[in-house]
Amino acid sequence: MIIRKRLLLCAAVLALSACGGGGGDLIEVPTVPVPNNRVLAPGSYKLSFSAISTARLSSPISGVDVAVRFPVGLSVRTLTGGTGQIASTSLTSGISIRSTTLAYGNYSASTRTAYINLATTEDNYRGGQYLNLYFTVAAGTSVTPDTIYALNASFPTYQVIGINAVTHSTVYLTDSVKTTLGVEQ
């Protein structure tokens, strides 16, 4: 299963490398970080994912698989309105990614877990904000960013890969990259 996911991600990266840079870019609405202990009011927020290199990377990052859990009362917009494919408007590439990017994922309402994949043709990305996932806080919910961070501290499911430009083979970078979360409004 993992090998199939990796091959699919590599195929997506290679397919995207043939894409041109034309077309309009998404314009992101400016957001501000939410203090860690502030209760999130009902409404929409952005969960930002960043990569931090913990060692010298042998190649640029070209793909990331990540899973994130949400507390009760938070949800992610899907095409079906519950469990299923995350709506494309709920996923955007982060400010550190400047080239063609493919971001997609699924959300499980029963486990409140989002499984997200990002592939990019960026040829020099080695760290910084790579992905944004928009979520909604329901009325009557009492959750802080610290609640989200604590829920995911013991659930750091992620995988980071690169592509060797010479051999066109997959380079596993997970052990040299840490993924962090940020909540913004």
Q: What is the CATH number of the domain that holds 96?
A: 2.60.40
64 assigned to some structural domain: yes
* Tokens matching residue 135: 């979520």
**For 168, left (φ over 0), alpha (ψ -120 to 50), or beta?**
left
22 assigned to some structural domain: no
User: What is residue 35's predicted lDDT score, i.e. its pLDDT?
Assistant: 84
Q: Mean pLDDT in runs of 10 for the chain (185 residues)?
A: 39 36 37 85 95 92 94 95 94 90 94 95 90 96 95 84 91 93 92
25 assigned to some structural domain: no
User: What is residue 48's predicted lDDT score, i.e. its pLDDT?
Assistant: 95
User: What is residue 153's predicted lDDT score, i.e. its pLDDT?
Assistant: 87
User: What is residue 1's predicted lDDT score, i.e. its pLDDT?
Assistant: 41
Look at the block and give the residue holding tokens 């994130």.
68
Q: What is the span of the domain harbouring residue 55?
A: 2-17+31-184
Closest CA to 129 of 71, 74, 184, 56: 184
Q: Has this prediction a pTM greater than 0.85?
A: no
What is the rounded CA–CA span in Å between residue 21 and residue 23?
Answer: 7
Kindly state the helix (H) or strand (E) to which residue 147 belongs, with its residue range.
helix 145-153
By the 10 Å C-beta count (0-12 exposed, 13-18 middle, 19+ buried), 112 is classed as middle
What is the rounded CA–CA span in Å between residue 80 and residue 82?
Answer: 6
Is the CB of residue 116 less than 8 Å from the CB of residue 103? Answer: yes
* Total domain count, the chain: 1
Closest CA to 143 of 68, 74, 45: 74
For CA atoms 152, 80, 116, 157, the dihedral sign is positive
23 assigned to some structural domain: no
101 assigned to some structural domain: yes
24 assigned to some structural domain: no
User: What is residue 32's predicted lDDT score, i.e. its pLDDT?
Assistant: 77
Look at the block and give the residue holding tokens 């699924």.
106
